[in-house]
Amino acid sequence: MKSVLETQIPKTDLISTDLRKEWANIPSLKTYNVSVLGKDTNIQAILYNDKFVNFMSKWYHVLPNEEVIETADLIADQLEFKKFVPTKYHKDSWFTSDKGHVIGNPDKTQITATYTFGNKVDVTGRGDFVEYGVAVRNSIDGKGGAFSVSPFTIRQACDNLAFHLAFDQTLHSGLIEAKIGQGYYKSLVKLQESEVLKKQLGDIQEARKTWQETKFKKSHFAGLDLKYVTNAVLTVKEQAESILQKYKEMVSLKITQAQIESLKNKLPVTVTKYADTQVKDSVISYNSKKKELKVDKDATVWQVFNNYTEALSYGQKRNYTTTLETYKILDQILVAPVQVKG
């Protein structure tokens, strides 16, 4: 019986495949080397749940979503964070979920696990409480971004979700391989420049030194290191607390024309239309014919931000990846320009 891969990439004299890697604890995930005329192409094919996912360079390190969730859950338990489960009001939204704290795209090749710190802040001083936490993201398809940790908030009055992806701590896709026979150790891990990740780079370099001394493969560094993820989560916790302070500033900060133009030009029109027509007491209006975005004269950054996060939280039939990218753009326009520590 032919494998799923053979039915989608038939073995011929031209193209052939062989198993590259499989995970004993995740039988639904496999990767295959792809050769043309018997020559390795340096390309791997990724399969998940008996479906073809994508072709990627062999240097792309497949970090299973299941391992990410397991690691994040463990750290959340150690730090006494709470798993955040989307409410029933989010059920027809832009993501799929098995009624747990993990959301994702329909094929479950991209995931986000959400946790709250158990604290909430009254942003306006009039009972407008916001709870905050951390979102842990990963993908195995090369499309949903690398493993990352970022702040996220929930506005309790309306259950609006806000993913602050402009502030994420990212471990970019890479591979650490070791060839014991040659005493060879090569690291292709790329780390975002931050103090936490610089420290992790130091840990990796130390692991390289240890491996060279012991000739023992440090294969766990090709996945997730608990210390690295814990440090990233704690850094994001500090950033989340800073963002909440900026929320308070946004309450009295008037929206600028430059920000309005950026919202019009950079965000999907469907999101702006939803914020205009479906959000109660919206402070924005969009003229489709003129392609003109207007904001109430006295509107604050906080009001506009909430209009858009409500549109993003509840907009139906919207792409998972695109929605998260839109959150990032919104973050860059309305929140990131206000300097935060971290």
Q: 50-78 pLDDT, tens per residue?
A: 999 999 998 888 999 999 999 999 999 99
- Domain residue spans in the chain? 4-58, 66-171+232-334
Percent of the chain with pLDDT over 70: 76
pLDDT at 7: 58
Q: Is the pLDDT of residue 221 over 50?
A: no
- The average pLDDT across 258-270 equals 95
Q: Is the pLDDT of residue 327 over 60?
A: yes
Q: 101-135 pLDDT, tens per residue?
A: 999 999 999 999 999 999 999 999 999 999 999 99
Q: Is the pLDDT of residue 95 over 70?
A: yes
Copy the structure tokens of residue 307.
């209009």
- Cβ atoms of 5 and 16 within 8 Å: the answer is no
- Cβ atoms of 167 and 243 within 8 Å: the answer is yes
Beta strands in 37-128 (DSSP E): 39-48, 51-57, 82-83, 96-97, 102-104, 110-122
pTM of this structure:
0.79
- The average pLDDT across 311-322 equals 86
Provide the terminal-to-terminal Cα distance of the chain, rounded to the nearest Å: 54
- Alpha helices of 20-84 — where are they, by DSSP H? 65-79
Q: How far apart are CA 54 and CA 46, in angstroms?
A: 5
Q: Is the pLDDT of residue 289 over 70?
A: yes
CA dist list (Å): 177 to 38, 103, 174, 180, 271: 23, 31, 10, 10, 43
